[in-house]
């Protein structure tokens, strides 16, 4: 199996997504099966945008050798799929009126 890349992005809901106005800045935690960082980043960003989020910044990236990955991220799932993304959301606060 290819190595796993862990990528952490700060994201915001797109204006037309079901999460717009509901969530504020959010963390997208991505585990991507890939042999190259650039491919892992492309897959992660494609998945995040497909799910209605805009990438604000890449906060962290690291390569994890496949033979050291524990099953708490779903290694069986990653063996069948290219990746897995978990969103850590924060409720959007009230907007200030002027």
What is the distance in angstroms between the CA of the first residue and the CA of the last residue of the chain?
55
Digit-coded pLDDT (tens) for 19-28: 888 888 999 9
Digit-coded pLDDT (tens) for 18-74: 988 888 899 999 988 888 999 999 999 999 999 999 999 999 999 987 677 665 555
Buried b (16+ CB within 10 A) or exposed e, 30-66: bbbbbeeeeebbebbbebbeebebeeeeeeebeeeee
């Amino acid at each position: 199996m290819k190595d796993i890349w862990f990528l952490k992005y700060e994201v915001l809901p797109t204006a037309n997504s079901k999460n717009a106005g509901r969530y504020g800045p959010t963390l997208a935690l991505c585990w991507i099966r890939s042999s190259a960082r650039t491919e892992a980043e492309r897959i992660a960003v494609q998945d995040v945008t497909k799910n209605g989020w805009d990438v604000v910044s890449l906060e962290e990236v690291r390569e994890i050798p496949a033979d050291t990955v524990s099953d708490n991220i779903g290694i069986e799932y990653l063996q069948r799929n290219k990746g897995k993304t978990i969103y850590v959301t924060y409720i959007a606060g009230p907007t200030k009126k002027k």
